[in-house]
Amino acid sequence: MGPPPPPGFAWSPSPRGGRDTSPAAPHRTSAERVRALTTIFALLLASWPALAADIAATERRSDTGLLAPETRAMQDDDTANPGMLTVLDGAEAWSRAPGPNVPACSGCHGDAPASMSGVAARYPAWSRDAGGPVDVAGQVNLCRERRQNATPLASDSPELLALTGYVAHQSRGLPISPPEDPRLEPARERGRALFGRRMGQLDLACAQCHDDQWGRRLSGATIPQAHPTGYPIYRLEWQAVGSLQRRLRGCLTGIRAEPFPAGAPEYVELELFLMSRARGLPIETPAVRP
């Protein structure tokens, strides 16, 4: 059951989070509600055990298993999955040159279903051009700069999401297979450390929820293992397709931590670790999530 809430605080059971409408605090300000919620989280965390080990390979589960039946049906039906519109945009961009006298993506890589099959399952990967690890979006922008003489696309822009979604879609159903490249290990270990680091005003680490408490309920929702199997994903909350970096920024904001700047290396380091943590699970792009 966990510890009781602090005196004078009433928790709303509304599935959307609700608000405190109890007679005990009818005029509570936003700042007071924030302090009360922070106190509740602190009390809950005090009752949680110390960080556990990584999730065993035999216990790894895609977050798809937690979806409501209607959301799962939406994801599984390409004619109903709204993320497929972004994939179709990506197919068009794949064959369109970004400027005169430069090749389209297809000009170098040919037919994407053949040349890009399995690529997303092996990223982030080491890039000689970048001198470090890059994710799929980073590789798309490197190709634009170095091969197409084009301006890099903005993070989470529709154009970049379309191309990354199209590339990742070519690996759908294939198992995540992180590269065994020793040059990636320092960045992967930094990602592991970030996943286990307490951050923000709520003093929470990613691992406290997604390693230690997965499968339990918090605020009316089941805590997932948080594997990056379906990015870019369509989130019903966003009513749009978004990247893993956008989701990580949302998590940081949720624990009241300062998000890293867009495109910061910390995001790629976290993805490196998360992809290793999800080894063997199938790519699901474009996934649908609440």
Is 251 marked active-site?
A: yes
- Name beta bridge partners: 204: 199
Q: Cα separation of 210 and 110, whole Å?
A: 39
Helices (H), the chain: 30-47, 69-76, 83-94, 105-109, 112-115, 136-146, 158-169, 185-195, 206-210, 244-254, 265-277
CB within 8 A of 70, min separation 6: which ones?
A: none
CB 151 within 8 A of CB 142: no
Determine how β-strand 217-218 pairs with β-strand 132-134: unpaired
- What backbone torsions phi and psi does residue 235 show, to the nearest 5 degrees? -105, 130
Place of tokens 């170095």: 146
Question: What is each CA distance from 39 to 1, 35, 180, in whole angstroms?
Answer: 16, 6, 43
Task: Exactly one of 143, 206, 209, 251 is catalytic; name it.
Answer: 251
Half-sphere exposure of 61 toward its Cβ, with a 13 Å CA cutoff?
A: 14
Question: What is each CA distance from 163 to 74, 86, 94, 139, 243, in whole angstroms?
Answer: 22, 8, 7, 11, 12
Q: CA 14, 250, 261 angle in degrees (round to 5)?
A: 160
User: Catalytic positions, please?
Assistant: 251
